[in-house]
C-alpha cells in the first residue's frame, strides 16, 4: 500500500508542477464557467422589484368631436403615465356636474402615487425620437398613440363602426419585463375606453330601436351627454397597481454558475483523466514505465499507483474549481455564500463518485488505444461528446427529446444534475450517485485491468 501511495503521490506532484497544464486544468475552466454563467444570469440585477420604469409617451391623437363635446382618448391614456401636475391641467368640471362630488375623494391622488412609483414617463414629440431613446437604453419602452386613435374607437352616433387601431409599444428587448408591464398598462386602459364606448353605443342603439324620437332628444341634450361622460372620466375610472409581498416557502433560486460551473469542470476533468492515462503510454514509449517494471515492485502495484494518481488528480481539480467558483459567486454578490447547497456530506459523496467515473472514462480509453496519439484523439472526441450532452455549453432541457434521453449517456449530465439539485436544497441525488458509482467502478476497474494485462507495457 505504501508503494501505491508513493507512486500516486509522485504522479500528482509531477502533474501539478507543470504550469501550462495548471492553466488548462484550473484557470481555463474557471474563466469559461464564469463568462458563460454571467451571460445567462441576472447576478448584477439584485432581483430588485420594479421601480420607476423609464417610459417615453408620444401622443399624436387629434381627438374627435361628439356633438358639442371634444373627446381625446389619447390624453386619457397619456395622463395615466403622466398625471396632470396641477388642477389647471385637469379637465374642467362644471359646478352642477353630477360627477363632481366624486372628484374630491383621494382616489386620484392614490392613482397618481401608485403609477408614479412604478413608471417615470416623459412626453416626447415624435415617434422616431422615442424609438431612438429605447434603442440607446434611455427608456424601457415607448408608447406611441396614433393620430386617429380617438376617431377609431369613439362612438359618434348612429351608423358608427368601431375600427380599433393599434397603439405601438416599442420595448427594449434587454428589459422585457419592464416593457411587458408598460404593455399591460396600455392594454388595460385602451380596453376600458373601448368597453365604455361599446356600452355607450349599445345604449344609444337600444333607445333608437325603442323610441327614436326620444333618443334624438336625449342625444341633443348636453346634460345627458355630460352624465354619461362620467364613465369615461379618467379621474373616476382609476387604474391602480398594488405591489404585494407574498410569503411562501423559501426556495433557492437557480444559479447558472452552479450548473455551468459543474458541467464545465467535469468537461475539463475528462481531458485531465484522458491526458493522465495517455501519459502512461508516453512513459512506455520513453522507457520510463519499463524501468519501473524492472524494479522489485509488482506490476499490479505500479499500475494501481498510476491509476489511483489519476483519480486524485481529477478529484483535486474538481475540489479546487468548486471552491474557486464559490469565491467568485461571493465576490459578484457581495457576500460569502456556499453555492453547492447545505448538505456538505452529499456534495463530498457526489464529488467522489464523479471523480471515479470521469477518471474511469479516461483510463478505459487509454487502455484500449494502441498509441498515445490515438488515445488523445479518441479521448478528446469522447470528452466533447459528453460535454455537449452534459450541458457544458448550453442547457440540454431546451432541446427536448430524444436529446434528453441520449444525454443520459454522459457522466457529466448525471453529475451536473446532482450538483444543481443540491444547490437548490434538493437532496434527491442518490440515483445520480448510484449510477455514477456503478459506472465508475465498471470503467475504472475495466481500464485498470486492461492496462495491467497489456503485454506491450
Count of structural domains, the chain: 2
The rounded distance, in Å, linking the Cα atoms of 29 and 12 is 19
* Res 162 pLDDT > 80: no
Of the listed ranges 61-65, 94-98, 401-405, the least confidently predicted one is 94-98
- DSSP line for 220-281: T-HHHHHHHGGGG-TTTS--------------PPP-HHHHHHHHHHHHHHHHHHHHHHHHHH
* Confidence class for position 235, pLDDT limits 50, 70, 90: very low
**348-374 average pLDDT score:** 88
Q: Are residues 223 and 262 in the same domain?
A: no
The rounded distance, in Å, linking the Cα atoms of 36 and 160 is 57
> Per the structure block, which three cell numbers stand in for 236?
373616476
Please list, residue by residue across 344-366, b when 16 or more beta carbons sit within 10 angstroms of its beta carbon and e when fewer do.
eebbebbbbbbbbbbbbbbbbbb
> Per the structure block, which three cell numbers stand in for 184?
399591460
The rounded distance, in Å, linking the Cα atoms of 388 and 263 is 9
> Per the structure block, which three cell numbers stand in for 322?
468548486
> Per the structure block, which three cell numbers stand in for 77?
391614456
Provide the pLDDT for residue 229.
53
Q: Are residues 261 and 365 in the same domain?
A: yes
Residue 155: how many other CB atoms lie within 10 Å: 21
Q: At 56, give phi and psi (nearest 5°).
A: -105, 135
Q: Which domain holds residue 424?
A: 2-41+255-453
Q: How many CA atoms does the CB half-sphere of 85 hold within 13 Å? A: 2
Q: Are residues 313 and 441 in the same domain?
A: yes
The rounded distance, in Å, linking the Cα atoms of 364 and 375 is 10
Provide the pLDDT for residue 102.
34
Of the listed ranges 151-165, 226-240, 306-320, 350-364, the least confidently predicted one is 226-240
* Confidence class for position 454, pLDDT limits 50, 70, 90: low
> Per the structure block, which three cell numbers stand in for 388?
455537449
The rounded distance, in Å, linking the Cα atoms of 258 and 266 is 12
State pLDDT tens for residues 123-159: 898 999 999 999 998 898 999 988 888 777 776 666 6
Q: Are 43 and 261 in contact (CB under 8 A)?
A: no
342, 346, 351, 356 alpha-carbon torsion, rounded to 10°? 180
Is residue 159 in some structural domain?
Answer: yes
Provide the pLDDT for residue 160.
66
Q: Are residues 435 and 374 in the same domain?
A: yes
Of the listed ranges 138-142, 182-186, 344-348, the least confidently predicted one is 182-186
Is residue 120 in some structural domain?
Answer: yes
The rounded distance, in Å, linking the Cα atoms of 421 and 327 is 20
* Res 299 pLDDT > 90: no
Provide the pLDDT for residue 438.
93
**Cα dihedral across residues 115, 186, 232, 124: positive or negative:** positive
* Confidence class for position 117, pLDDT limits 50, 70, 90: low
State pLDDT tens for residues 405-441: 777 778 888 898 899 899 988 888 999 999 999 989 9
Provide the pLDDT for residue 142.
92
pTM, rounded to two decimals: 0.55
Is residue 259 in some structural domain?
Answer: yes
Provide the pLDDT for residue 175.
81
Q: How many CA atoms does the CB half-sphere of 129 hold within 13 Å? A: 9
Q: Are residues 225 and 187 in the same domain?
A: yes
Please report where in the chains the cell 333618443 appears, as a residue: 215
* Confidence class for position 394, pLDDT limits 50, 70, 90: low
Provide the pLDDT for residue 157.
66
The rounded distance, in Å, linking the Cα atoms of 197 and 157 is 11
Of the listed ranges 91-100, 135-144, 149-158, 445-454, the least confidently predicted one is 91-100
**64-68 average pLDDT score:** 73
Q: Are residues 148 and 270 in the same domain?
A: no
Q: Are residues 220 and 311 in the same domain?
A: no
Q: Are residues 141 and 174 in the same domain?
A: yes
CATH number for 75: 3.40.1710
The rounded distance, in Å, linking the Cα atoms of 203 and 207 is 6
Q: When comparing pLDDT for 210 and 175, which is higher? A: 175
Provide the pLDDT for residue 242.
54
Q: Are residues 290 and 221 in the same domain?
A: no
Q: Are 169 and 186 in contact (CB under 8 A)?
A: yes
> Given 200, 232, 264, which residue is the final one in a domain?
232
Provide the pLDDT for residue 253.
62
Q: Are residues 216 and 299 in the same domain?
A: no
Is residue 436 in some structural domain?
Answer: yes
**54-65 average pLDDT score:** 86
* Res 215 pLDDT > 60: no
Is residue 245 in some structural domain?
Answer: no
Is residue 238 in some structural domain?
Answer: no
Cα 107 to chain centroid distance, Å, stands at 38
Is residue 139 in some structural domain?
Answer: yes
Three state DSSP letters for 338-402:
CCCCCCHHHHHHHHHHHHHHHHHHHHHHHHHCCCHHHHHHHHHHHHHHHHHHCCCCCCHHHHCCC
Is residue 242 in some structural domain?
Answer: no
Q: Are residues 313 and 448 in the same domain?
A: yes
Q: At 69, give phi and psi (nearest 5°).
A: -115, 145
Q: Are residues 37 and 86 in the same domain?
A: no
What percent of the chain is modeled with pLDDT above 70? 72
The rounded distance, in Å, linking the Cα atoms of 417 and 149 is 53
* Confidence class for position 285, pLDDT limits 50, 70, 90: confident
Amino acid at each position: 500500500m505504501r508503494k501505491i501511495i508513493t507512486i500516486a503521490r509522485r504522479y500528482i506532484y509531477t502533474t501539478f508542477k507543470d504550469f501550462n497544464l495548471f492553466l488548462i486544468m484550473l484557470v481555463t475552466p474557471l474563466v469559461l464557467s464564469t463568462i458563460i454563467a454571467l451571460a445567462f444570469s441576472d447576478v448584477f440585477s439584485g432581483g430588485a422589484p420594479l421601480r420607476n420604469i423609464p417610459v417615453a409617451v408620444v401622443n399624436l391623437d387629434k381627438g374627435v368631436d361628439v356633438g358639442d363635446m371634444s373627446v381625446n382618448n389619447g390624453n386619457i391614456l397619456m395622463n395615466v403615465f403622466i398625471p396632470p401636475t396641477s388642477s389647471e391641467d385637469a379637465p374642467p368640471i362644471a359646478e352642477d356636474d353630477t360627477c363632481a362630488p366624486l372628484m374630491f375623494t383621494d382616489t386620484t391622488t392614490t392613482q397618481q402615487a401608485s403609477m408614479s412609483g412604478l413608471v417615470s414617463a416623459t412626453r416626447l414629440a415624435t415617434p422616431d425620437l422615442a424609438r431612438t431613446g429605447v434603442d440607446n437604453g434611455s427608456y424601457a419602452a415607448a408608447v406611441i398613440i396614433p393620430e386617429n386613435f380617438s376617431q377609431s374607437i369613439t362612438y359618434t352616433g348612429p351608423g358608427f363602426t368601431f375600427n380599433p387601431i393599434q397603439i405601438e409599444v416599442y420595448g427594449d428587448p434587454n428589459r422585457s419585463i419592464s416593457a411587458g408591464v408598460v404593455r399591460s398598462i396600455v392594454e388595460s386602459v385602451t380596453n376600458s375606453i373601448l368597453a365604455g364606448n361599446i356600452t355607450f353605443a349599445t345604449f344609444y342603439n337600444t333607445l333608437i330601436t325603442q323610441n327614436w324620437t326620444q333618443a334624438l332628444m336625449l342625444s341633443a341634450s348636453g346634460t345627458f351627454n355630460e352624465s354619461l361622460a362620467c364613465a369615461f372620466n379618467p379621474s373616476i375610472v382609476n387604474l391602480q397597481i398594488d405591489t404585494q409581498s407574498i410569503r411562501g416557502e423559501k426556495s433557492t433560486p437557480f444559479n447558472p454558475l452552479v450548473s455551468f460551473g459543474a458541467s464545465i469542470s467535469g468537461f475539463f476533468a475528462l481531458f485531465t483523466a484522458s491526458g493522465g492515462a495517455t501519459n502512461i503510454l508516453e512513459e512506455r514509449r520513453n522507457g520510463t514505465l519499463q524501468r519501473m517494471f524492472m524494479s522489485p515492485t509488482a506490476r499490479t502495484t505500479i499500475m494501481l499507483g498510476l491509476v489511483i494518481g489519476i483519480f486524485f488528480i481529477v478529484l483535486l481539480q474538481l475540489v479546487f474549481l468548486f471552491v474557486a467558483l464559490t469565491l467568485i459567486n461571493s465576490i459578484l454578490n457581495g457576500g460569502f455564500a456556499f453555492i453547492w447547497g447545505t448538505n456538505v456530506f452529499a456534495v463530498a459523496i457526489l464529488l467522489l463518485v464523479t471523480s471515479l467515473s470521469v477518471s474511469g472514462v479516461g483510463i478505459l480509453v487509454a487502455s484500449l488505444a494502441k498509441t498515445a496519439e490515438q488515445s488523445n484523439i479518441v479521448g478528446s472526441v469522447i470528452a466533447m461528446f459528453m460535454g455537449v450532452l452534459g450541458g457544458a455549453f448550453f442547457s440540454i432541457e431546451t432541446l427536448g427529446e430524444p436529446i434528453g434521453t441520449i444525454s443520459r449517456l454522459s457522466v457529466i449530465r448525471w453529475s451536473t444534475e446532482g450538483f444543481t439539485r443540491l444547490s437548490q436544497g434538493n437532496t434527491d441525488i442518490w440515483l445520480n450517485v448510484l449510477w455514477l458509482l456503478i459506472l465508475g467502478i465498471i470503467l475504472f476497474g475495466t481500464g485498470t485491468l486492461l492496462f495491467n494485462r497489456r503485454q506491450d507495457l
